[in-house]
């Protein structure tokens, strides 16, 4: 099967594929191949658990396939799909009553890094997740969607039910908050 990426889709192509997928499983397979990395990355960042992210990703695509008839094509297909993923993450947290298990996130494997790089990456990841938990939920969600899942501001706005300008502002302020929190924690470590 060919390798699909978001960049290979002309504007509206995924929306046309979504309509075709109602009758053609190959069209849905293309959408799955195209959007799997973004959905998985988003759910991994939200859950902090590889197994949970895999399960939630599968559930997201199953719900998308079952609910494809409800997609009206008014917004982007990716935003509609990420709305399902966001809902799955919310259900996961309600059932687990935890935000992210940082011990599991610290042990995520990196592709052949040096020991120094591994330690640095783990400290940075832990600092990032701790900091994301300390900023406002809307700002954190905007960062998850725009930075980690790589949605556009318009797509994230559809998912969050906000205007694109509000999402841009939430992302900007959230990143500013993260910079402050991470630099403060670095200063505390030095003292």
pLDDT of residue 187: 53
Same domain, 71 and 148: no
Instruction: Please give the Cα distance from 155 to 107 (Å, whole number).
Output: 31
Which residues contact residue 76 at a Cβ distance below 8 angstroms, ignoring those fewer than 6 apart? 14, 15, 152, 154, 155, 158
CB-CB contact of 44 with 53 (8 Å): yes
The tens place of each residue's pLDDT in the chain, 191 residues long, gives 334 444 444 456 677 777 777 788 888 888 899 899 999 999 988 888 899 999 999 999 999 988 888 887 777 888 899 999 999 999 988 877 544 555 665 565 544 555 566 555 555 666 677 778 899 999 999 998 998 888 999 999 999 999 999 999 999 999 999 888 877 765 565 54
Task: State whether 125 and 86 are in the same domain.
Answer: no
- What's residue 3's pLDDT? 43
Cα-Cα-Cα-Cα dihedral of 147, 150, 151, 152, to 10°? 80
Is 95 found in the same domain as 16?
Answer: yes
Structurally, how many domains does the chain consist of?
A: 2
Domain residue limits at 184: 113-191
Nearest to 57 by CA among 35, 78, 76: 35
Q: What backbone torsions phi and psi does residue 128 show, to the nearest 5 degrees?
A: -65, -50
Q: Are residues 70 and 143 located together in one domain of the fold?
A: no
pLDDT of residue 162: 95
> What pLDDT does 98 receive?
47
162 in a structural domain:
yes
Shared domain check, 6 and 85: yes
- pTM summary value: 0.64
**pLDDT on residue 27:** 84
């Amino acid at each position: 099967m060919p390798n699909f990426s978001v960049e290979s889709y002309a504007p509206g192509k995924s929306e046309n594929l979504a309509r075709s997928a109602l009758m053609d499983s190959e069209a849905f397979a293309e959408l799955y191949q195209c959007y799997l990395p973004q959905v998985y990355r988003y759910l991994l960042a939200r859950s902090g658990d590889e197994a949970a992210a895999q399960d939630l990703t599968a559930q997201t695509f199953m719900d998308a396939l079952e609910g494809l008839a409800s997609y009206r094509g008014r917004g982007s297909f990716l935003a509609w799909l990420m709305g399902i993923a966001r809902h799955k993450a919310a259900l996961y947290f309600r059932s687990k009553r935890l935000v992210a298990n940082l011990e599991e996130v610290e042990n995520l494997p990196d592709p052949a890094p040096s020991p120094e790089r591994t330690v640095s990456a783990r400290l940075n990841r832990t600092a990032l997740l701790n900091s994301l938990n300390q900023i406002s939920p809307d700002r954190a969600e905007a960062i998850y969607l725009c930075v980690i899942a790589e949605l556009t501001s318009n797509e994230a706005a559809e998912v969050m039910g906000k205007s694109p300008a509000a999402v841009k502002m939430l992302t900007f302020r959230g990143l500013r908050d993260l910079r402050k929190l991470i630099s403060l924690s670095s200063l505390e470590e030095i003292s």
